[in-house]
Homo-oligomer: A and B are copies of this chain.
Amino acid sequence: MEKAQTLKGFRDFGPSQMRVRNFVSQIFRTTFEIFGFEPLETPSLEYAKTLLAKYSTDTDKETYIFKDLGERDIGLIYDLTVPTARYLAENSGKIRYPFRRSQMQRCYRAEKPQKGRYREFMQCDIDIFGEKGPLADAEVLSCAWEIVKKLGLDGGFSFKIGSREVLYNLLSDLDVTDCEKQMQVARSLDKLDKIGQDAVLEDLSKNGLQIGLIKQIFANLTNSSPTENLKAIMDYAILLGIPKEKLVFSPTLSRGADYYTGMVVEGVVAEPKIGSVLGGGRYDNLIKSFGGQDTPATGLSFGFERICDVILELGLFANALPNTTTRALVILASPFISPQSSPSPLFPYALKALSYLRKSDIPSEIYLNQKADIAKQLKYASEKQIPYAVIIGPDEVANNTVTIKDLGKRSQKTISLKEVFPLIKFN
């Protein structure tokens, strides 16, 4: 058969990559819990009309849409915001607000794969639904800051904070009152960092804005101040433990999605060179537009894949994350005694030792090939970087002991099974 392969933009995660992913997702999970965010999961597939309702047209092209066997137009989720909005609308009246929810799932984008961008990726969100006040936004920022610290990325980190309120007020003052025009400006501004001011100017000009007006928008925006609400958000965030200098008012920050209504935020790091590690903001009208109650909302997405890539590339956790989680390999000193392939009489004792280790929550294996000599078994342990070998020979069986070998220090001693537990568990 022709050799099978993964699709372009899709990835396998072997054990060493999974250790990093599990490490990162564990930090997310426990921190979400400490901040009172409750877990939610929704389907990977939704009706196409649900998925395509709420984005700009750019994202529509990147959504996997197809027909199922019942000829329904369906698609793979592009993010977690829209499925959650659908969930809240569908469960109107059943949810206790304010609802702090966390969600961590795979999402799918049919975009051109490139470094750090994949067609399938882990999305990781927190949001607070049902509360308009600035404390909700500050809570979300505060949880993000805690995660950034636990990931060890806080050194050059800062929150860039803008506001759609500031932007839309300013546009209204300049008589740009059409809603679609206002969102067009927001979408163009989002490309500022990537393509620069001239290109944004050209982009807006193509969309029918006068050059003079655009320049005026830029000037007014750059000189704008935070609203009272944005000031309160930052004050609360500081009280919740975010250092003041980490909160940077960035009036030209806009973010791409049309649905933002208030604060918009991106978390950027100076080192390593990965740019933004999180982003989000307030979106008070999205849930209602899905047919739900009028539900204010604010939240953040974390760049899970980017964070894992950095950790893997820089080998940040090379020492902290062992090559294997297995702590002990049970080894038979003389695997078979008779010239036939009948099992060694040491087996019952070896399997008892193995079961004992596992009952003590020590991750353990036994070498499975019953005919392998001791050298081969030790080689397996050392290649997998298993720290201890628990060796069983006729003397050990006779004396009800085991010989335990520290494969790093290359030292060994013969002890009772009960003495193995503290030795392996706490070293």
List chain A positions with a Cβ less than 8 A from chain B: 1-7, 10-15, 18-19, 21-22, 30, 33-36, 38-47, 49-50, 53, 64, 66-69, 72, 74, 85-87, 89-91, 96, 98, 100-101, 106, 108, 110, 119-120, 128, 131, 133, 135-136, 139, 142, 146, 232, 236, 239-241, 289-291, 324-326, 343, 347-348, 351-352, 354-355, 358, 361-366, 368-370, 380, 383-384
A43 B96 Cβ-Cβ under 8 A: no
Tell me the smallest distance from the CB of A68 to a CB of chain B, in Å: 6
Enumerate chain B residues within 8 angstroms of A368, measured Cβ to Cβ: 98, 128, 131, 133, 135-136, 139
Contact between B47 and A4, CB atoms less than 8 A apart: yes
B1:A289 contact, CB within 8 angstroms:
yes
Of chain B, the residue at the smallest CB distance from A87 is B12
Q: Which residues of B contact A43 (CB under 8 A)?
A: 6-7, 10-12, 120
Overall SS of chain A's interface:
mixed
Contact A89 B354 (CB under 8 A): no
Indicate if the CB atoms of A7 and B45 lie closer than 8 Å.
yes
Q: How many whole Å from A200's CB to the nearest CB in chain B? A: 28
Known contacts A47-B7, A68-B64, A355-B241; A12/B36 CB under 8 A: no
Q: In the complex the two chains form, is A38's CB within 8 Å of B10's CB? A: no
Measured between beta carbons, the chain B residues less than 8 angstroms from A383 are: 96
CB distance from A47 to the nearest CB of B (A): 6
For A98, the chain B residues whose CB sits under 8 A away are 368-369
In the complex, which residues of chain B have a beta carbon less than 8 angstroms from the beta carbon of A370?
A: 133, 135
| Bound: A21/B38 CA distance, A | 13
